[in-house]
Structure 1
Amino acid sequence: MKLTTPRLLLREFQEEDWHFTNLYESNEEVMRYQTSNTRTSQESLEYIQQCLAEAQEDPRTLYDFAIVLEATDMLIGRVGMKVDHDAEEAVLWYILNRSYWNKGYISEAATAMLGFGFDQLNLHRIWADCDPRNTGSYRVMEKIGMRREAHFKENIFIKGEWCDSYVYAILDHEWKLVKS
């Protein structure tokens, strides 16, 4: 399965992609607000193997795609959703190699995922969360039409500290207005 945007190809991971994912997964700055720590090469490979296995489940609930620049065929990040079919909703996530920040790639990839979720999976709601200190992440959420629903105080313990969370979401009928 794959999705395309004007500049990107969002495709299923391949096992050998770990070389590229480890470029950002081993970077402290990129992983600062992630729930996991930086990853070793082996951990990056194991994560991709886990994604490949989950993608085979029926019904499929995990859509975790490599973000590839069309012009250069370079894998620069990941975008994905975990779907709860019973609730007709999904949680959205993304991560990008530091060298490609502030170029609109994540907004482009996340918008494609929203379109896939609403138009093909017929979801009612897609949500995402981030640490409020991660301004780049919540700005992406706002740029793609999501609205802030909550600011939870010290609701999650990550990497030795209690952290706040912003929760953003968009509903199917709101998406229709955003994309038109």
Structure 2
Amino acid sequence: MEISTVRLRLREFKEDDWHFTNLYEATEEVMRYQTSDIRSGKESREYILQCLAEAKEEPRTLFDLAIVLKTTDMLIGRVGMKVDYDAEEAVLWYILNQTYWNKGYTTEAAAAMLRFGFDELHLHRIWADCDPRNTGSYRVMEKLGMRREAHFKENIFIKGQWCDSYVYALLEHEWKQASEPSADKA
């Protein structure tokens, strides 16, 4: 599976991609708000092998893709969705090498996943969550047109402390309405 955007290719992981994912997974600044701790090279490799195995499952419920710059073929992060076909919804996530923050890559990759989820998988709802202290993450959700549905207080225990969560979501008809060209936009 591969999805192309203006600047990015979202593709299946390859076994040796762990060298690149570990560049950010071993960084405290990148992993600060993640549920997992910083990863060793071995842990990054195991995660990639897990992604490769789950990509072969039928029906496929996990779509965890490498974010690759078209200009340099550099792997700079990952974007993914876990699909619940019975509920017609998915949870969206993303993580990016800090060198590439604030350049619009995360928003571009996540928008491509939303398009895939709504247009190809015909999902009704896609949601995402983040720690409220992670302003970059919830700003991406807002740029995507997602709305904040909840602010859960101390609902998850991560790295030795209780943390809050913001939950954002977007419905298929909201996505289609925002994606339609209109006379006002012309």
TM-score category, normalised to shorter length: over 0.9
Q: Which amino acid aligns with 2:11?
A: R
User: Which residue number corresponds to residue 79 of structure 2?
Assistant: 79
Matched ranges for 1:138-177 at <5 A: 138-177=138-177
| CA-based RMSD | 0.4
Q: Which one has the largest radius of gyration?
A: 2
Deviations 1:57-79 (A, max 9, x none): 10000000000000000000000
CA distance in structure 1 between the partners assigned to 2:49 and 2:146 by the alignment: 31
Q: Which residue of 1 aligns with 2:6?
A: 6
Q: Which runs of 5+ in 2 are unaligned?
A: 181-186
Instruction: State the distance in 2 between where 1:178 and 1:150 align.
Output: 22
Return the TM-score normalized by structure 1: 1.00
| C-alpha distance in structure 2 between counterparts of 1:174 and 1:138, whole Å | 18
Counterparts of 1:10-21 in structure 2, within 5 Å, are: 10-21=10-21
- Distance in 1 (CA, whole Å) between partners of 2:152 and 2:63 is 26
Q: Which amino acid aligns with 1:123?
A: L
Alpha-carbon distance, 1:179 to partner: 1.5
Task: Give unpaired runs (5+ residues) of structure 1.
Answer: none
SS for the counterpart of 1:151 is: strand
1:13 deviates by 0.2
Q: Which whole-Å CA distance do the structure 2 matches of 1:131 and 1:3 have between them?
A: 28
Separation in structure 1 between the aligned mates of residue 39 and residue 33 of structure 2, nearest angstrom: 14
Once the 2 structures are TM-superposed, how far is the Cα of residue 178 of structure 1 from its aligned partner? Answer: 1.8
C-alpha distance in 2, partners of 1:54/1:11?
14
Which aligned segments of 4 or more residues in structure 1 are displaced greater than 2 angstroms? Answer: none
Residue aligning to 1:120 = 120
Alpha-carbon offset, residue 177 of structure 1: 1.4
- The amino acid that maps onto 1:40 is S
